[in-house]
Amino acid sequence: PHAGPVESKNEAAMSELVPEPRQKPVVPMKPMGINASLLGYIGIDTIIEQMRKKTMKTGFDFNIMVVGQSGLGKSTLVNTLFKSQVSRKSSGWNREEKIPKTVEIKAIGHVIEEGGVKMKLTVIDTPGFGDQINNENCWEPIEKYINEQYEKFLKEEVNIARKKRIPDTRVHCCLYFISPTGHSLRPLDLEFMKHLSKVVNIIPVIAKADTMTLEEKTEFKQRVRKELEVNGIEFYPQKEFDEDLEDKTENDKIRQESMPFAVVGSDKEYQVNGKRVLGRKTPWGIIEVENLSHCEFALLRDFVIRTHLQDLKEVTHNIHYETYRAKRLNDNGGLPPMTVETEENHESNL
């Protein structure tokens, strides 16, 4: 069925460009009580293996952003997460480097391979964030960067000749580092998370958790959770995106017990009871990074990489990017404005 008559020339031109969306076929109701029992093996279950082979060939993109004041161990933590030197600072950074006057954004890409699975990892660092005396609006360059990546993706998507696989530079996950003060969140923390929780998946992390006693740590975590709730700040995994009861139960546990993860990062190895472990040496012993009784690093890693990595990518695509896209197309009456170059291409295609 066609929509109403076309009102303006502009819309007419657009309807030529954009094929009319077909209505989704109505899914028939499941017949009740009929369970088809197969008379023999068909091989439907091999679809999982087929999907695995296909995705193994193409590999994965994962873009992680780290935000927080300097000196909170952001670079070390990212190196610890991926057990390799992936941060900006691990590649020839010197102590004399001055604090940037404004927030800079530096992205470094790596290809990491494990068990035949290739991942193109991009670490996006934000030096200069929260380091000035006046930190007003210092989240703006970060928000701008995130939106620019959505814009880039959108431009590729609305091209007449689309690439088969659009390079994905969208930020899938933002680790926000909270200073281990033991008191409360700073106004800057709240402002940042308020503005950015709408456009990106934020995972709050209490940095350098070894500077607090266990009691202080538990108390601080509860206080941070309470403050986020009072200020209406939604961090990842957001309640409204839980798809079913199983997800809800699992994510509620993370939201109510683990968040924000109190972590310690280290890329140095030590010998403990005959085993080599990642840890930090202190005068009273070694803090084992991957030991849950010492810190919650292992929980954070399992959460970001082993259980929710695909979901982080999906929420970015289906929720944050979709919101951006809908708003952009609405504001523009359908398509991003054509540049001279795209108009020429368009004419030559016609």
Is there a contact between 59 and 119 (Cβ–Cβ < 8 Å)? yes
Alpha-carbon distance of 184 to 220, in angstroms, equals 7
Task: Tell me what percent of the residues of the chain surpass a pLDDT of 90.
Answer: 24
Of residues 344 and 207, more confidently modeled = 207
Task: Share the mean pLDDT of the chain.
Answer: 81
Task: Read off the pLDDT of each residue in 15-44 and give the average, rounded to a whole number.
Answer: 60
Give the per-residue pLDDT at 11. Answer: 46
Cβ contacts of 290-298, under 8 Å, gap ≥ 24: 294/210, 294/264, 295/209, 295/210, 295/262, 295/263, 295/264, 296/209, 296/258, 296/261, 296/262, 296/263, 297/77, 297/80, 297/261, 297/263, 297/264, 297/265
- 276 pLDDT more than 50: yes
Look at residue 177 and give its three-state secondary structure: strand
Backbone angles phi, psi at 39, to 5 degrees: -85, -10
pLDDT band of residue 9 (cuts 50, 70, 90) is very low
Domains along the sequence of the chain with CATH: 58-332 (3.40.50.300)
Backbone angles phi, psi at 211, to 5 degrees: -85, 0
Task: Read off the pLDDT of each residue in 166-194 and give the average, rounded to a whole number.
Answer: 90
CB proximity list for 59: less than 8 A, separation 6 or greater:
111, 117, 118, 119, 120
Is there a contact between 271 and 264 (Cβ–Cβ < 8 Å)? no
Question: pLDDT tens-digit profile of 87-123?
Answer: 766 555 455 566 676 788 888 888 888 888 888 999 9
Question: pLDDT tens-digit profile of 307-332?
Answer: 899 999 999 999 999 999 999 988 87
CB proximity list for 336: less than 8 A, separation 6 or greater:
151, 154, 155, 158, 328, 329
- DSSP string for residues in 125-148: E-TTTT-SS--TTTTHHHHHHHHH
Is there a contact between 118 and 59 (Cβ–Cβ < 8 Å)? yes
Give the per-residue pLDDT at 82. Answer: 86
- 191 pLDDT more than 80: yes
Buried b / exposed e over 87-107, threshold 16 CB at 10 Å, is: bbbbeeeeeeeeeeeebebee
- 201 pLDDT more than 90: yes
- 161 pLDDT more than 70: yes
Of residues 327 and 11, more confidently modeled = 327
- 56 pLDDT more than 50: yes
- 144 pLDDT more than 70: yes
pLDDT band of residue 34 (cuts 50, 70, 90) is low
What is the pTM assigned to this prediction? Answer: 0.79
- 84 pLDDT more than 90: no
